[in-house]
């Protein structure tokens, strides 16, 4: 073999080797793809997604499906360059910087824990929104979620304490407690009337100065609801708050006579507040693909996601603009009656 041929052979081998190594190189990106789709008025593993006890429920049909996004990658299991390249070439997949899903300020475990908490809060908010829509009374309590070590509340209040009043004023929500504390000067005493188990206690805590000089006591709170009957939601390994709207619609459907869907396969997404306001979500393109694959013909789309959704909507999937739960209940009623004048996503 000539020296020239040998040189070309070695060079070619090196290029190939570098190409293989480069393709297998780990990169800080995450691949987002259509995830599982679950019918909120159906079953998962032979168990109802939404189970209601202590209140009359009615038969349902059709589907009110939540949609999800699956991800591949992350700080603890980074994808290789070849996987990222395949994702960039797939129109149904998004490849995003790792920090989009896993901010550097939080670990992967913390992100997963936050998603779990958000899903639990979403289910509570969805139940509250459905009962608000149906004018079924319920109450709200503010509970202590955690205390910050070394801060005044640490050792004074405990996780699970229900805060009934602060300085003699009845507590209405988390913001009311926070604003009352912030209105005090650092070093002032504040009295919390709490329920701990079966006991009622008055707990005095001295305030301190926190970040940017704001007065604080060092505890994290959350609103918890007391509903007149039990609503259990189970969807397996799904996290985040984006299924709120579909949970609410599923609960409304089960608590009211007749079929909300009219037998149709309807999918959608959107966060929900206890008042029934629908909020924007991420991964709308992948969620629409998942909805279409699951057989949905109508997709309930948060108003703030409409512009993005219009650019990526699969053929045959009708986009309905969702702003409130009440609007969606009314819209599904119109759809069931065959009406065509529905709130739609339109180009801005």
Integer Cα distance of 76 and 198 in angstroms? 44
Reported as type and span, the H/E element at residue 284 is helix 284-293
pLDDT of residue 238: 72
Range 113-122 average pLDDT: 73
Residues of the chain with pLDDT > 90, as a percent, come to: 61
Which range, of 26-30, 229-233, 241-245, averages the lowest pLDDT? 26-30
Task: Tell me what pLDDT residue 11 has.
Answer: 55
Residue 57 and residue 231 in contact, taking contact as beta carbons nearer than 8 Å? no
Q: Which residues pair with 79 in a beta bridge?
A: 27
Domains of the chain: 29-133+229-336 (3.30.230), 139-226 (2.30.42.10)
Q: Is 242 a catalytic residue?
A: yes
Report pLDDT digits (tens) over 13-61.
555 554 554 556 788 888 888 998 999 999 988 899 999 999 999 999 9
Task: Note if 287 is an active site residue.
Answer: yes
The residue annotated as part of the active site, out of 156, 254, 264, 287, is 287
| Each residue's pLDDT tens digit, 187-197 | 999 999 999 99
Residue closest to 236 by CA, chosen among 101, 116, 60: 116
Question: Looking at residue 89, what is its pLDDT?
Answer: 85
Give Cα separations from 140 to 3, 164, 173, 185, 274 (angstroms).
84, 10, 8, 28, 10
pLDDT for res 341: 87
Least confident piece of the model among 5-14, 85-94, 182-191: 5-14
Please compute the mean of the pLDDT values over residues 131-159 and round it to a whole number: 93
Average pLDDT over residues 281-287: 93
Q: What is the mean pLDDT of the chain?
A: 87
For residue 223, the model assigns a pLDDT of 82
Average the pLDDT over each of 109-118, 217-226, 294-303 and give the range with the smallest value: 109-118
The pLDDT tens digits of the residues spanning 265-277 come to: 999 999 999 999 9
CA distance 94 to 89: 9
Question: How far apart are alpha carbons 40 and 273 in whole angstroms?
Answer: 18
Do the Cβ atoms of 308 and 269 come closer than 8 Å?
A: no
Active-site residue (options: 242, 264, 292, 321): 242
Span 299-312, average pLDDT: 95
Of residues 199 and 1, more confidence is placed in: 199
Query: Is pLDDT above 80 for 219?
Result: yes
What percent of the chain has pLDDT above 70? Answer: 89
Q: What is the mean pLDDT of residues 201-218?
A: 90
Quick one: pLDDT band at residue 12, thresholds 50, 70, 90?
low
What b/e readout covers 70-107, taking b as 16+ CB neighbours within 10 angstroms?
Answer: ebbbbbeebbbeebbeebeeeebbbbbebeebbeeeee
265-268 and 63-73 strand pairing = parallel
């Amino acid at each position: 073999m000539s020296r020239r041929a040998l040189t070309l052979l070695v060079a070619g081998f090196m290029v190939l080797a570098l190409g293989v190594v480069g393709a297998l190189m780990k990169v800080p990106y995450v691949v987002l793809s259509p995830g599982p789709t679950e019918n909120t008025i159906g079953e998962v593993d032979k168990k109802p997604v939404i189970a209601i006890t202590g209140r009359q429920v009615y038969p349902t049909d059709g589907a009110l499906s939540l949609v999800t996004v699956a991800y591949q990658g992350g700080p603890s299991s980074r994808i290789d360059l070849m996987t990222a390249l395949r994702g960039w070439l797939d129109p149904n997949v998004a490849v995003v910087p790792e920090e989009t899903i896993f901010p550097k300020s939080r670990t992967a475990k913390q992100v997963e824990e936050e998603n779990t908490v958000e899903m639990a809060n979403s289910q509570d908010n969805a139940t509250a929104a459905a009962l608000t829509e149906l004018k079924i009374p319920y109450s709200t309590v503010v509970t202590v979620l955690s205390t910050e070590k070394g801060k005044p509340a640490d050792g004074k209040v405990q996780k699970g304490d229900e805060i009934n009043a602060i300085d003699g004023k009845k507590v209405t929500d988390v913001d009311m407690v926070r604003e009352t504390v912030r209105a005090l000067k650092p070093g002032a005493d504040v009295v919390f009337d709490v329920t701990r188990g079966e006991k009622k206690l008055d707990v005095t805590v001295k305030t301190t100065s926190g970040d940017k000089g704001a007065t604080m006591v060092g505890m994290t709170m959350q609103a918890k609801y007391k509903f007149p009957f039990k609503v259990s939601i189970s969807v397996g390994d799904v996290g985040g708050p984006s299924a709120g709207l579909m949970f609410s619609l599923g609960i409304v459907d089960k608590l009211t006579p007749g079929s909300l869907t009219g037998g149709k396969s309807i999918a959608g997404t959107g966060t929900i507040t206890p008042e029934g306001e629908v909020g924007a979500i991420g991964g709308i393109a992948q969620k629409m693909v998942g909805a279409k694959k699951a057989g949905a013909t109508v997709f309930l789309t948060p108003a703030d996601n409409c512009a993005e959704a219009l650019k990526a909507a699969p053929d045959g999937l009708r986009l309905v603009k969702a702003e409130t739960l009440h609007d969606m209940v009314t819209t599904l009623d119109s759809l069931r009656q065959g009406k065509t004048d529905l709130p739609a996503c339109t180009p801005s």
